[in-house]
Amino acid sequence: MEKVMESRAREMVRVITLNDKEQWKKFIKENCTKAFVDKNMKAKVETSDSNDGATTESTKTADNLEAKAAMFARLHHDFGGGKISSLKTTADKVEMVVMDSGLKGTFNLKFENKKPYLIDGLGIEAGN
């Protein structure tokens, strides 16, 4: 189980480096549970203006494969040249840190705990 989870996590980073929406969709269809793909997605983006310390927050919800592909587009923009700096597996979860030009992303992947061990949840925190 651990090897499969790590392999899927590493493949996700490889696919994110590609600028190819069809490859993103293919990865999502082949490596994620149907429940994950069909689940409403919530994206929360926080930015802060260094001049006045103000924080801007935006939240969007969407569902289906197109929404997940749009998430991969955002990940490609932020981590398209990234490399994995650490990967840790615990039970049915993988925590992976990806670095790209000073940007650090912590990817928390949750897997179903039965074969074929597909991705069933994903959370990402990014910062400098």
Domain coordinates in residue numbering, the chain = 2-127
Residue given tokens 């569902």 in the structure block:
63
| Two tokens, residue 83 | 């490399």
Q: Once rounded to an integer, what is the mean pLDDT over residues 102-127?
A: 95
Type of residue numbered 15: V
pTM over 0.75: yes
Q: Nearest 5 degrees, angle CA 122-CA 125-CA 128? A: 155
Query: Within 10 A of 109 (CB to CB), how many other CB atoms are there?
Result: 23
Q: Which fold has domain 2-127?
A: Nuclear Transport Factor 2; Chain: A, (3.10.450)
Q: Once rounded to an integer, what is the mean pLDDT over residues 10-34?
A: 97
Q: Once rounded to an integer, what is the mean pLDDT over residues 46-61?
A: 52
Kindly state the DSSP code that residue 32 receives in the 8-state scheme. Answer: B
Residues 6+ apart with CB under 8 A from 33: 112, 118, 119, 120
* Whether residue 60 has pLDDT greater than 70: no
Give residue 58's pLDDT.
47
